[in-house]
Amino acid sequence: MSSESSALLHEGRWRRLPNLGADSPGIHSDAVARELGFRTGPVLGDTVRCQDDVDGCESWIAIAVHDDKEWQALLDVSSELALADPRFTHGESRKIHEDDLDACMSAWVRQYSVEDLLQVLLTAGVPCAPVRDDTALLGDEQLRHRGHYEWPPHAGVRSPPLGRLGFRIEDMDHGPRRSAPHLGEHTAEVLGEVLGLSAAELSEQADRGAFGGAVK
């Protein structure tokens, strides 16, 4: 997703907040979150199910509203009258009534495809992004442009795509350096170089079937 959603444990409940960049399970209060520079307070940020796609598969969208200006922008393009409830006018009140707000948002979003919602909300200035599955991510133009996926050789089978780190540091190898190992690929290396077995001992144990024929 172009705008990441992360989790913040607050008052015993996991809440998804935008732009944290990574899950933060060690954050347990607004005070700690503010100390670390994370956004806290009356933020509406969640993933909501849209209309299913043409194949009947679920589609979801992440929507983030940070302030009353963005909330009004969402109201201007929404056909859901329940969202105009006075309880949702201001951020603190939206936070207090977030369960009711979630229900109203779900009822509105569920009527539309993710593509239609993206066009409407982004044009209105409401931060949002589609929730992608693995297949969609592999075909994402931005990820391809950044060279996010690599296909390192994997003998004997089709090479699976492996994702690189989402950030880049100059003059560093960001991997992946190789594919996942085959069964037993490093058994001899570990037993010989780490545990100190000689070549003769390895051969003897292999003849006895100790490694299930998987020593490489």
More reliable by pLDDT, 151 or 19: 151
Q: Is 126 exposed, middle or buried (0-12, 13-18, 19+ CB in 10 A)?
A: buried
Question: What's the domain range around 196?
Answer: 177-216
Same domain as 124, residue 59: yes
94 and 30 housed in the same domain? yes
The answer on 187 and 129 residing in a single domain is no
Residue 166 lies in a domain: no
- 185-210 as b/e, with b when 16 or more CB fall inside 10 Å? eebbeebeeeeebeeeebeeebeeee
Rounded to whole angstroms, how far apart are CA atoms 18 and 3? 7
64 found inside a domain: yes
- For 135, the 3-state DSSP assignment is helix
Domain count, the chain: 2
User: How many CA atoms does the CB half-sphere of 25 hold within 13 Å?
Assistant: 0
Interatomic CA distance for residues 114 and 90, integer angstroms: 26
* Confidence label for 111 from pLDDT (cuts 50, 70 and 90): very high
Q: Of 108, 135, 162, which residue constitutes the final position of a domain?
A: 135
Q: What is the mean pLDDT of residues 174-196?
A: 81
Average pLDDT, the chain: 76
User: Given this model, what pLDDT does residue 23 score?
Assistant: 36
Instruction: Classify residue 62: in a domain, yes or no.
Output: yes
pLDDT tens-place string over residues 47-56: 899 999 888 8
Could you read off the pLDDT of 122-144 as tens digits, one per residue?
Answer: 999 999 999 888 888 888 888 88
Give me the DSSP letters along 147-171: T-EE----TTSPPPPEEPPSS--TT
Query: Does the predicted model carry a pTM greater than 0.75?
Result: no
Statement: residue 13 has pLDDT above 60: no
